């Protein structure tokens, strides 16, 4: 399928085009059949919404080909720091793209990973933390995370020894998992109450394989698990990344792409519950592009967020669209534009 042609079938007027937005979760990669580099990022972020800054999150791009295995992810930080420098020049417009970088470091290496974290920080003043995904399910129908995690990663002593190195350096941790694993993140958050943890993509509610068609059955337990996680004050939540094929809504299979109203109707309850238990001051909307681009356009996705936010106060909206992300990722002030 030609994804651009498919997405072009539905175009919406931009809601609240002046609202400043920090997009705290996107990727960059040069996949042969699906490149997402600076031109593609600019195409999305300049499609009508007022994106003033972004945060890059690791995806295995541009790893070093030589040297120690543990140091190979440093290549991704080098690559993205260069993109961030390009965007800081003003040549591509006022947006501060890649103002923050969340890279990868293999925390299973325990305390020895500290030297790699130090090098990430030396390579880029934009480096803010690490994502080490634990997404794993016993079903053969569900592919585990790209970093090939073992089962129960967040409970392992060797992983936690590496995790402890983040707090020593003031670095944050992004967590990506599937919904049956949320309680394992809660246990991790309780064990390290002084380390800032960011939950990605609502904890990965699955809707494929053995979970297909069971969203209503799964939702009540997901609610309880999210509420327990929200009781950990060191955890913030990214709201987005829920229209991937693995979530089971099937938007990518439709003859025409969904509207922002369609997205809200299908997924709005996940946003409402997360905001209710975390509070807007610990929530941030995220695009998860280009992964979620399989299901909708960037402009339509942010319109959906604005429809969801319409029931909240002005201050809550400021937090959801900009302020929480800037505080959690320590980006400074780029709100004026």
pLDDT, tens digit (0-9, with 9 covering 90-100), for 239-284:
999 999 999 999 999 999 999 999 999 999 999 999 999 999 999 9
Domain that holds residue 55: 3-328
Q: Is residue 216 part of a domain?
A: yes
CB 117 within 8 A of CB 166: yes
- The phi and psi torsions of 141 (rounded to 5 degrees) equal -80, -5
Q: Is residue 337 part of a domain?
A: no
CB 290 within 8 A of CB 299: no
Kindly tell me if the per-residue pLDDT of 220 is higher than 70: yes
Kindly tell me if the per-residue pLDDT of 115 is higher than 60: yes
Four-point Cα dihedral 244, 250, 251, 253, nearest 10? 110
Q: Is residue 92 part of a domain?
A: yes
Q: Would the pTM count as exceeding 0.75? A: yes
Gap between the Cα atoms of 183 and 228, Å rounded = 8
Q: Which residue carries 């030297």 as its tokens?
A: 115
Kindly tell me if the per-residue pLDDT of 334 is higher than 60: no
Q: Which residue carries 């800054």 as its tokens?
A: 53
Q: Is residue 219 part of a domain?
A: yes
Summarised one tens digit per residue, pLDDT across range 144-186 is 989 999 999 999 999 999 999 999 999 999 999 999 999 999 9
Q: Is residue 139 part of a domain?
A: yes
CA angle (182, 292, 299) in 5-degree steps:
125
Q: Which residue carries 């939540």 as its tokens?
A: 237
pLDDT confidence bin for 335, thresholds 50/70/90: low
Q: Is residue 333 part of a domain?
A: no
Looking at residue 90, its pLDDT comes to 96
Provide the token pair at 229.
């996680």
Q: Is residue 334 part of a domain?
A: no
Kindly tell me if the per-residue pLDDT of 320 is higher than 70: yes
CB 203 within 8 A of CB 225: yes
Q: What is the mean pLDDT of residues 18-29?
A: 98
Share of the chain above pLDDT 90, in %: 97
User: Across the chain, what does the average pLDDT equal?
Assistant: 96
The DSSP bridge partners found for residue 96 are: 53
Q: Which residue carries 């190979």 as its tokens?
A: 72
pLDDT confidence bin for 336, thresholds 50/70/90: very low
Q: 139-143, 181-185, 329-333: lowest mean pLDDT where? A: 329-333
For residue 106, the domain's CATH number is 3.20.20.140
Looking at residue 333, its pLDDT comes to 56
For residue 253, the tally of other CB atoms under 10 A from its CB is: 10
Looking at residue 337, its pLDDT comes to 42
Q: What share of the chain is helix, strand, coil (3-state, %, to 5)?
A: 45, 15, 40
Q: Which residue carries 């699906």 as its tokens?
A: 34
Q: What is the mean pLDDT of residues 20-43?
A: 97
Summarised one tens digit per residue, pLDDT across range 184-213 is 999 999 999 999 999 999 999 999 999 999
Q: What is the mean pLDDT of residues 134-144?
A: 95
DSSP 94: S
Q: Is residue 71 part of a domain?
A: yes
Structural domain count of the chain: 1
Kindly tell me if the per-residue pLDDT of 137 is higher than 80: yes
């Amino acid at each position: 399928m030609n994804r651009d042609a498919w997405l072009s079938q539905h175009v919406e007027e931009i809601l609240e085009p002046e609202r400043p937005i920090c997009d705290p979760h996107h990727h960059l990669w040069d996949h042969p059949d699906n490149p997402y580099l600076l031109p593609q990022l600019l195409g999305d972020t300049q499609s009508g919404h007022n994106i003033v800054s972004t945060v890059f999150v690791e995806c295995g791009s541009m790893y070093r080909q030589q040297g120690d295995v543990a140091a190979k992810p440093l290549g991704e930080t080098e690559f993205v720091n260069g993109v961030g420098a390009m965007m800081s020049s003003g040549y591509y417009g006022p947006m501060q793209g890649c103002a923050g970088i969340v890279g990868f470091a293999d925390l299973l290496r325990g305390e020895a990973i500290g030297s790699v974290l130090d090098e990430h920080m030396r390579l880029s003043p934009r480096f803010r933390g690490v994502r080490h995904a634990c997404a794993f399910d016993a079903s053969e129908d569900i592919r585990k995370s790209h970093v090939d995690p073992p089962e129960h990663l967040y409970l392992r002593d060797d992983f936690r020894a590496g995790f402890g190195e983040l707090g020593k350096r003031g670095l944050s941790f992004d967590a990506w998992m599937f919904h049956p694993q949320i309680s394992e993140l809660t246990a991790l958050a309780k064990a390290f109450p002084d380390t800032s943890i960011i939950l990605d993509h609502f904890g990965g509610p699955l809707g494929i394989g053995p979970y297909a068609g069971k969203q209503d059955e799964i939702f009540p337990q997901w609610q309880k698990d999210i509420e327990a996680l929200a009781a950990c004050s060191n955890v913030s939540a990214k709201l987005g990344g829920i229209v991937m094929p693995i979530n089971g809504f099937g938007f990518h299979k439709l003859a025409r792409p969904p509207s922002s109203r369609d997205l809200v109707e299908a997924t709005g309850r996940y946003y409402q519950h997360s905001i209710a238990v975390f509070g807007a001051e610990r929530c941030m909307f995220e695009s998860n592009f280009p992964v979620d681009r399989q299901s909708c356009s960037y402009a339509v996705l942010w319109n959906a967020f604005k429809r969801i936010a319409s029931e909240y106060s002005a201050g809550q909206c400021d937090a959801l669209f900009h302020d929480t992300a800037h505080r959690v990722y320590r980006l400074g002030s780029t709100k004026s534009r």
